[in-house]
Amino acid sequence: MSGFQVFLTAVQFISAIILIVLVMLQTTKSEGLTGTIGGKASATFKGKPGLDEKLANLTKWAAIGFAAASALLYYLSIHPKA
């Protein structure tokens, strides 16, 4: 295993832990079936993003980092150096 693969494995592990923590910190958007049928009025125009929006944005970037590290590790395992 090359040094780059070890680095990518560390990035993948760290991003997986961060992703798990971020998903667990987020609040639910509705109250199950009741929220789906009744629904809640949400504000269309918002000011500064709140904690939920920031957590959603961080979760998105952690997921992108995890997917990119996973794809690169897969590619490097399929095409090792000759």
Digit-coded pLDDT (tens) for 34-80: 555 655 555 556 667 788 889 999 999 999 999 999 999 999 888 87
> What number of helices (H) and strands (E) belong to the chain?
3, 0
Q: Provide the 10 A C-beta neighbour count for residue 48.
A: 6
pLDDT at position 11 over 80 = yes
pLDDT band at 27 (very low <50, low <70, confident <90, very high): confident
pLDDT in the model for residue 15: 93
Which stretches within 1-82 are classed as H helix? 3-25, 33-37, 51-78
pLDDT in the model for residue 42: 55
pLDDT in the model for residue 82: 47
Q: Domain spans of the chain?
A: 1-26+52-82
